[in-house]
Structure 1
Amino acid sequence: MEKITLFHGTFEKNVTPTYGLGEEKHDYGKGFYLTEQIELAKEWAVCRPNVTNGWVHQYELDTSGLKILDFQGKDVLSWLAELMKHRDADDSRRYRVLSEKFIDKYGIDTKEYDVIKGWRANASYFYIAKEFVRDNIDIDILPELLSLGGLGIQYCIKSPLAYSKLREIKENLVTVEYEEFREKYNQRDISAREKMRELVNSDANKVTNVFSTLF
């Protein structure tokens, strides 16, 4: 039996993880999202642009018997394909046509997995996805781009079995001060974007093996 500690940052004091809830347009679709890093959870708790304090809920997940898809161990194109299943990186007809082909070629069938683990595509990471589908980023620099963000790895609880193995440690509920952690969230994103733009505009970006050439 292997138990891991995870944190869920939110503006809600009372949370009940429930199978079938969540937004389909989140990174990995419907599910309950957590991270191993409490400091990131604090930032995510106040990432919405409204002046209110947040909360971090601590959980214990018993991973024994669970099938976990870890995108860090997969090709980065598989991760991008998963994002494309749930989020639109562009609103053009070109993107709609090519994204279907991209998902067919590089996507992973996630239905058999209980938990999905991978990067969190907030503002700066989604900047990568948008630039990639516009043919502005060579696939050779994608892994380095993802390492620059420092924006954390998230876990998405997907199956009834995984939900049944998730237990909140209610006595460890933490209040998050909006002003302090909203600023940290913003600064992390600004720093990530600056580093990413610098790499995208450097000679390392050959702009040869781009999105539209991968089919």
Structure 2
Amino acid sequence: MATITLFHGSPYESMIPEYGLGNDKHDYGRGFYLTKSVELAKEWAVCRPDESNGWGHQYELNTNGLSILDFQEHSVLAWLAELMKHRDAADSKRYRVLAAKFIAQYGIDTSGYDIIKGWRANASYFYIAKEFVRDNVDVDILEELLSLGGLGIQYCVKTEKAYGQL
């Protein structure tokens, strides 16, 4: 049995992961986000400006029989395309048209995966994405730019099956 220990940061003292909840606008869409990093989970726990306290929660995930997409095993372009599916880096018509073409060319169909594992993104990475789509950042330096700053790795639990093994 392959079991991994993961953490989730929340403003709530009690946290029971529930399938179907989450935000479609997060990096990998709707799901329950966890990390192996206690420090990153702590950061998530207090990310709301109106909350003063946060809570860290520890979970064990049995990965046996789960289909896991690991973006670290794919091109950074595939990861960027996944972010573009769920988040808008810019509200211009040009960005929307070019982002759709980029997603079509580099995107991965994630619908068959129970878990998505990959880097987390913050505001600076969406700036890079916007500049890349505008053709202001060359593909040769894109991966180097995105690797700066230590993003941290997150796991997104996507399916009812995966929730059952958490």
Task: Please classify the TM superposition score into its range, dividing by the shorter chain length.
Answer: over 0.9
Q: Give 1:98 deviation, angstroms.
A: 1.4
Show the counterpart of 1:67: 67
Indicate conservation of the 8 Å contact 1:89/1:133, yes or no.
Answer: no
Q: Distance in 2 between matches of 1:100 and 1:127?
A: 17
Q: Tell me, which stretches of 5 or more residues in structure 1 are unaligned?
A: 167-215
Query: Is the aligned partner of 1:155 residue 2:136?
Result: no
Q: Which moved more, 1:128-137 or 1:14-23?
A: 128-137
SS state at 1:95 partner? helix
Q: Distance in 1 between matches of 2:57 and 2:105?
A: 38
Q: Give 1:133 deviation, angstroms.
A: 2.0
Q: Distance in 2 between matches of 1:149 and 1:132?
A: 18
Q: Distance in 2 between matches of 1:39 and 1:51?
A: 18
- Among all aligned residue pairs of Structure 1 and Structure 2, give the percentage whose two residues are the same amino acid: 73
Q: Tell me, which stretches of 5 or more residues in structure 2 are unaligned?
A: none
SS state at 1:89 partner? coil
For 1:78-117, list aligned pairs within 5 A. 78-117=78-117
Show the counterpart of 1:77: 77
Q: Give 1:28 deviation, angstroms.
A: 0.6
Indicate conservation of the 8 Å contact 1:41/1:56, yes or no.
Answer: yes
Q: Give 1:155 deviation, angstroms.
A: 0.3
SS state at 1:58 partner? strand
Q: Give 1:73 deviation, angstroms.
A: 0.7
Q: How many residues are matched?
A: 166
Superposed CA deviations along residues 97-116 of structure 1, whole A, max 9, x for unmatched, are 11111111111100110000
For 1:8-87, list aligned pairs within 5 A. 8-87=8-87
Indicate conservation of the 8 Å contact 1:68/1:115, yes or no.
Answer: yes
SS state at 1:104 partner? helix
Q: Alpha carbon RMSD of aligned pairs, Å? A: 1.2
Q: Distance in 1 between matches of 2:122 and 2:82?
A: 14
Superposed CA deviations along residues 154-188 of structure 1, whole A, max 9, x for unmatched, are 0000011100000xxxxxxxxxxxxxxxxxxxxxx
Q: Give 1:123 deviation, angstroms.
A: 2.0
> TM-score, structure 1 length as denominator?
0.74
Structure with bigger helix share is 1
Which one has the largest radius of gyration? 1
For 1:191-206, list aligned pairs within 5 A. none
Q: Distance in 2 between matches of 1:56 and 1:131?
A: 35
Q: Give 1:51 deviation, angstroms.
A: 4.7
Indicate conservation of the 8 Å contact 1:125/1:149, yes or no.
Answer: no
